[in-house]
Amino acid sequence: MQRWKLAFFVAVMVGLTGPVLAQVRGFGLSEAGERAGDEEAEAPPAEWTAETAIADMSLRTRVSQLLMVTLQGRLAPEATERQLLENYTPGAVVISNLTRPRNAVDYAKALQGNPVRRKHGVPMLIGADLADLPVAFGMQKEDYFAPLPTMMAVAAADDPVATRELAGLYAEHLALMGFSFQMGPCLALAPDLPGAKGGLQCLGSDPAFVGETAEIFVQSFAERDLAVMFTGFPGGQWNQTESAPPMLFTPASIMPTRDLVPFKRAVMGGARMVLVGNILVPHLDTKRAAASVSPTVMNELLREKLLYPGVIVAGPIDGLEVGKGATQGDAALAALRAGADMLFWRQPGIHVMKAAETIVQAVENGEFPESAINVSVTRVLQLKEDLGLRKKPLPDEKNVDKLEKRKAYPLAAQKIERRSITILRNSNNALPLVKGRSTPLGVTGVIGVEELYDILKKELKNVAQQRIATAKHGGEIYSFEIHRLTSRAEGVRTVVIVLTNELRAQGKVELIREMKNIGARVVVVLVGYPYTLGDFAEADAIVVAYCDPAASSAAMSAVAEALLGRSSLAVRPPLEKLLVKVGEPVPLDVAHWVRSPAGRLPISLDPPYEQGVGVSLITPDTVKKLRWDFGDGAHSKEKALEYAYKAPGHYTLTLSVTDDAGETDSGVAEVEVTE
CA geometry: angle at 252 spanning 247 and 254, to 5°?
105
For residue 392, which amino acid is it?
K
pLDDT score of 406: 63
3-state helix, strand, coil in the chain (%, to 5): 40, 20, 45
The residues, ordered by sequence, that sit 6+ positions from 312 with a Cβ below 8 Å of its Cβ are 274, 276, 298, 302, 303, 339, 340, 341, 342
pLDDT category of residue 306 using cuts at 50, 70 and 90:
very high
Cβ(262)–Cβ(207) below 8 Å: yes
pLDDT (tens digit per residue) in 317-372: 998 877 667 899 999 999 999 999 999 999 988 999 999 999 999 999 999 999 99
Q: Which of 228, 183, 190 is nearest to 207 (CA)?
A: 190
d(CA 274, CA 231): 6
Whether residue 144 is predicted with pLDDT greater than 80 in this model: the reply is no
Neighbours of 524 (CB within 10 A): 26
67-71 and 463-467: which strand pairing?
unpaired
- The least confident of 59-68, 330-339, 615-624, 661-670 is 615-624
Whether residue 22 is predicted with pLDDT greater than 70 in this model: the reply is no
From residue 56, how far is each of 51, 122, 620 by CA, in Å?
A: 9, 11, 72
pLDDT (tens digit per residue) in 624-637: 999 999 999 999 99
Whether residue 29 is predicted with pLDDT greater than 50 in this model: the reply is no
Cβ(292)–Cβ(241) below 8 Å: no
Percent of the chain scoring above 90 in pLDDT: 71
d(CA 132, CA 98): 10
pLDDT category of residue 93 using cuts at 50, 70 and 90:
very high
d(CA 307, CA 324): 34
CA geometry: angle at 435 spanning 433 and 437, to 5°?
75
pLDDT (tens digit per residue) in 220-274: 999 999 999 999 999 999 998 877 889 999 999 999 999 999 999 999 999 999 9
Whether residue 119 is predicted with pLDDT greater than 80 in this model: the reply is yes
pLDDT score of 33: 37
Whether residue 199 is predicted with pLDDT greater than 80 in this model: the reply is yes
d(CA 566, CA 596): 8
Whether residue 171 is predicted with pLDDT greater than 90 in this model: the reply is yes
pLDDT score of 481: 93
Cβ(550)–Cβ(501) below 8 Å: no
Cβ(551)–Cβ(440) below 8 Å: no
In whole numbers, what is the pLDDT of the chain averaged over residues? Answer: 88
Q: Which residue has the higher pLDDT, 664 or 24?
A: 664
CATH of domain 421-564: 3.40.50.1700
pLDDT score of 143: 62
Whether residue 4 is predicted with pLDDT greater than 60 in this model: the reply is no
pLDDT category of residue 553 using cuts at 50, 70 and 90:
confident
Mean pLDDT throughout 466-495? 90
d(CA 538, CA 481): 19
Whether residue 608 is predicted with pLDDT greater than 50 in this model: the reply is yes
pLDDT category of residue 137 using cuts at 50, 70 and 90:
very low
pLDDT score of 196: 85
Cβ(259)–Cβ(189) below 8 Å: yes
pLDDT score of 540: 98
pLDDT score of 661: 86
- The least confident of 56-70, 108-122, 341-355 is 108-122
- The least confident of 17-31, 34-48, 245-259, 353-367 is 17-31
d(CA 35, CA 246): 45
CATH homologous superfamily of 570-674 equals Immunoglobulins (2.60.40.10)
Whether residue 409 is predicted with pLDDT greater than 70 in this model: the reply is no
CA geometry: angle at 171 spanning 166 and 173, to 5°?
95
Secondary structure class of 136 (helix, strand, coil)? coil
d(CA 88, CA 61): 7
d(CA 599, CA 614): 7
Secondary structure class of 314 (helix, strand, coil)? strand
The beta strand positions in 157-235, using DSSP E, are 181-186, 227-233
Whether residue 150 is predicted with pLDDT greater than 80 in this model: the reply is yes
Secondary structure class of 90 (helix, strand, coil)? coil
pLDDT category of residue 5 using cuts at 50, 70 and 90:
very low
Mean pLDDT throughout 94-99? 86
Q: Which fold has domain 2-41+70-133+142-400?
A: TIM Barrel (3.20.20)
Percent of the chain scoring above 70 in pLDDT: 90
Whether residue 9 is predicted with pLDDT greater than 70 in this model: the reply is no
Mean pLDDT throughout 645-654? 97
pLDDT score of 44: 56
- Domain-wise residue ranges, the chain: 2-41+70-133+142-400, 421-564, 570-674
pLDDT category of residue 194 using cuts at 50, 70 and 90:
confident
pLDDT score of 135: 54
